[in-house]
């Protein structure tokens, strides 16, 4: 089989993105197309268990890599006229795959997961359009981590350089040009809490961002973070983002877990998904958030009324992404949700959001002139509160799933968004029934499956899975997975981040590390 079949057919009439910036008329046409959302979809089915990670290849996004709990990595070719099955796959993981990243020129694909190993796959044959029988094994493995790998990020311009981060707080800098026998101590940055995500900046070679389970999100410089200990500075931190939240009705700060982060394509914005809270948008050089994204309203602007569920992130690791389908600008952000949907928000210009953001001094805040439930971000208990703009009306909601959606990703070229999660397939969403890479899409049902009525059965399935009891005759793997996460949703969906995550200076957030961070206040205290 050969790659590179003709892509001249274009049923939708939408040309692929040109290398130059699109004209205003073309952008207006594209905006009009996606203004109605992505109501068509199809299943990309090949995995046999949960799909945890999605990544598009660099450049035009020809290849999609997907990985999950079935210990395999699949490759899908979006230069096909009708992408519907993987063109090849990779083996090697001995644990669930959580992270995938293509190198700068797509020479390599890196993966990581619960087996504590980073695997490197050679993609040269794919770029040359040659497919053997497969599946392919890894070209090389890296065994220096000692805990689950949550993130892998390839350098934006050098194929041989990448970062990996694990749940024991270790971040490794890999440079294959200097050989693997160099001092790993100089290539290791040890943080005080779990690394939940990391990503190289898309245009500044030495800059990368990290998030941690204690809620800390930082911008770091590799030249300050790695190398001889005597030459390091502040663990490489050049910017610390304000992630602690509070309300007028409470007298302490809360630090939601930062589950993942993502840059937009030019690196001017950073988005962070937060456990038990909302996706939060930052301008790169501003420590205070400029927007949060919620599903308070339906896409038509009317409020969501109970019992209908809306955006939430309580049970699983979510991964969001910026995009601006078939545009040269990322004007949207998308994230998965516990309500079995994905959400897409239109992101106004950063300058507009900064202008609309509120800053409230502590005295005014304590007078409670703004309502009990207003959420403000604060560097410390005695610092001003910054209230970002809440984008409460999503552009659209992505339907079609029957369980939690963990990952959403925009195609960088075509008008598509991909979503995946607890189910064993990926959904490709489109504003039109056909495009240069797919055809005859069905309109997606907007009905959302309710949680099962069998609470006892769901609980038993959960405990059987936890204790390793084999699946019984009356249950298959797919139904047990749905039951497990229905049980988790009942237990965790209503969790209140303010009662669950009290921030203390002496707690998980290392005062020794923070004391040297820009924006840190020595007056931070917590009162209960």
Residue 66 domain-assigned? no
Contact (CB, 8 A) for 231 and 277: no
Residue range 448-459, pLDDT digits in tens:
999 989 999 899
Q: Is residue 10 predicted with pLDDT exceeding 70?
A: no
Q: How many residues does the chain have?
A: 528
Residue 60 domain-assigned? no
**Mean pLDDT for the stretch of residues 195-199:** 98
Is 489 strand, coil or helix?
A: helix
Distance CA 103, CA 110 (A): 8
Distance CA 525, CA 504 (A): 7
**Secondary structure (DSSP) of 236-301:** GEEEE----EE-TT-SS-B---EEEEEE-TTSSEEEEEETTS--EEEETT-SS--EEE--SB-TTS
Q: Could you tell me what percentage of the chain is helix, strand and coil, using 3-state DSSP and rounding each to the nearest 5?
A: 15, 30, 55
pLDDT band at 522 (very low <50, low <70, confident <90, very high): very low
Residue 439 domain-assigned? yes
Domain count, the chain: 1
Residue 144 domain-assigned? no
Residue 423 domain-assigned? yes
Q: Helix and strand tally (H, E) in the chain? A: 9, 34
Distance CA 66, CA 86 (A): 10
Residues whose CB is less than 8 angstroms from the CB of residue 484 and which lie 6 or more positions away in sequence, other chains included: 458, 461, 462, 465
Contact (CB, 8 A) for 279 and 272: yes
**Mean pLDDT for the stretch of residues 322-341:** 89
For tokens 């006229």, name the residue. Answer: 81
Is 32 strand, coil or helix?
A: helix
Rg over alpha carbons for the chain, rounded to the nearest Å, is 23
Nearest Cα to 127, choosing from 144, 110, 142, 105?
105
Residue range 51-87, pLDDT digits in tens:
999 999 999 999 999 999 999 999 999 999 999 999 9
Query: What tokens appear for 247 in the block?
Result: 């309300």
pLDDT band at 326 (very low <50, low <70, confident <90, very high): low
* Percent of the chain residues topping a pLDDT of 70: 87
Residue range 384-440, pLDDT digits in tens:
999 999 999 999 999 999 999 999 999 998 999 999 999 999 999 999 999 999 999
**Mean pLDDT for the stretch of residues 325-338:** 87
Give residue 129's pLDDT: 63
Give residue 510's pLDDT: 42
Average pLDDT, the chain: 88
Query: What tokens appear for 336 in the block?
Result: 């998965």
Distance CA 349, CA 284 (A): 13
**Sign of the torsion formed by the C-alpha atoms of 359, 363, 365 and 367:** negative
Query: 348 — phi, psi (to 5°)?
Result: -65, 165
For tokens 């493995």, name the residue. Answer: 141
Give residue 34's pLDDT: 83
Residues whose CB is less than 8 angstroms from the CB of residue 149 and which lie 6 or more positions away in sequence, other chains included: 98, 99, 112, 113, 114, 116, 117, 118, 164, 165, 166, 167
Residue 103 domain-assigned? no
Domain that residue 420 falls in: 268-450
Q: pTM of whole model > 0.75?
A: yes
**Mean pLDDT for the stretch of residues 352-357:** 97
Alpha-carbon distances of 390 from 259, 269, 282, 357, 498, rounded to whole Å: 20, 16, 13, 9, 18
pLDDT band at 9 (very low <50, low <70, confident <90, very high): very low
**Mean pLDDT for the stretch of residues 94-120:** 96
Distance CA 389, CA 377 (A): 12
Residue 145 domain-assigned? no
Contact (CB, 8 A) for 350 and 410: no
Residue range 125-176, pLDDT digits in tens:
776 666 654 688 999 999 999 999 999 999 999 999 999 999 999 999 999 9
Residue 424 domain-assigned? yes
Give residue 180's pLDDT: 57
Distance CA 103, CA 161 (A): 8
Q: Which residues pair with 44 in a beta bridge?
A: 426
Give residue 368's pLDDT: 77
| End-to-end Cα spacing for the chain | 65
């Amino acid at each position: 089989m050969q790659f590179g079949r003709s892509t001249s057919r274009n049923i939708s009439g939408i040309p692929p993105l040109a290398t130059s910036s699109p004209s205003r008329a073309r952008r207006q046409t594209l905006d009009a197309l996606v203004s109605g959302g992505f109501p068509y979809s199809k299943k990309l089915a090949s995995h046999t268990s949960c799909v945890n990670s999605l990544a598009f290849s660099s450049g035009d996004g020809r290849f999609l890599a997907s990985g999950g709990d079935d210990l395999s990595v699949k490759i899908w070719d979006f230069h096909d006229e009708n992408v519907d099955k993987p063109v090849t796959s990779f083996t090697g993981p001995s644990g669930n795959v959580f992270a995938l990243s293509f190198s700068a020129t797509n020479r390599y694909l890196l993966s990581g997961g619960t087996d504590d190993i980073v695997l490197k796959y050679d993609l040269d044959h794919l770029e040359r359009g040659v497919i053997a029988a497969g599946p392919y094994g890894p070209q090389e493995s890296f065994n220096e981590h000692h805990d689950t790998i949550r993130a892998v990020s390839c350098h934006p311009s050098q194929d041989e350089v990448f970062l990996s981060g694990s749940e024991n707080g270790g971040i490794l800098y890999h440079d294959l040009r200097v050989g693997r026998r160099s001092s790993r101590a100089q290539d290791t940055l040890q943080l005080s809490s779990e690394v939940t995500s990391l990503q190289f900046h898309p245009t500044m070679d030495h800059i990368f961002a990290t998030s941690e389970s204690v809620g800390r999100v930082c911008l770091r410089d590799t030249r300050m973070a790695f190398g001889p200990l005597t030459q390091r500075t502040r663990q490489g931190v050049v910017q610390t983002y304000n992630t602690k939240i509070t309300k007028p009705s409470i007298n302490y700060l809360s630090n939601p877990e930062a589950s993942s982060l993502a840059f937009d394509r030019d690196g001017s914005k950073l988005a962070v998904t937060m456990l038990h809270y909302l996706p939060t948008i930052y301008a790169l050089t501003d420590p205070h958030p400029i927007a949060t994204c919620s599903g308070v309203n339906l896409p038509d602007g009317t409020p969501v009324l109970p019992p209908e569920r809306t955006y939430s992130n309580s049970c699983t690791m979510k991964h969001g992404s910026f995009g601006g389908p078939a545009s040269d600008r990322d004007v949207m952000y998308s994230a998965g949700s516990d309500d079995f949907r994905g959400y897409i928000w239109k992101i106004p210009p950063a300058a507009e959001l900064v202008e609309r953001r509120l800053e409230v001094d502590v005295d005014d805040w304590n007078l409670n002139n703004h309502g009990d439930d207003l959420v403000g971000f604060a560097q410390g208990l005695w610092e001003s509160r910054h209230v970002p703009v809440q984008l409460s009306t999503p552009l659209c909601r992505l339907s079609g799933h029957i369980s939690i959606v963990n990952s959403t990703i925009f195609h960088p070229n075509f008008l598509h968004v991909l979503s995946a999660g607890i189910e064993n397939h990926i959904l490709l969403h489109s504003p039109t029934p056909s495009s240069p890479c797919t055809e005859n899409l069905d309109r997606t049902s907007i009905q959302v499956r309710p949680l099962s009525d069998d609470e006892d059965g769901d609980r038993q399935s959960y405990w059987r899975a936890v204790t390793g009891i084999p699946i019984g005759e009356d249950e298959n793997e797919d139904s047990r997975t749905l039951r497990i996460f229905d049980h988790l949703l009942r237990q965790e969906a209503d969790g209140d981040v303010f009662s669950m995550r009290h921030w203390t200076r002496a707690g998980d957030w290392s005062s020794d590390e923070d004391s040297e961070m820009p924006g840190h206040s020595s007056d931070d205290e917590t009162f209960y």
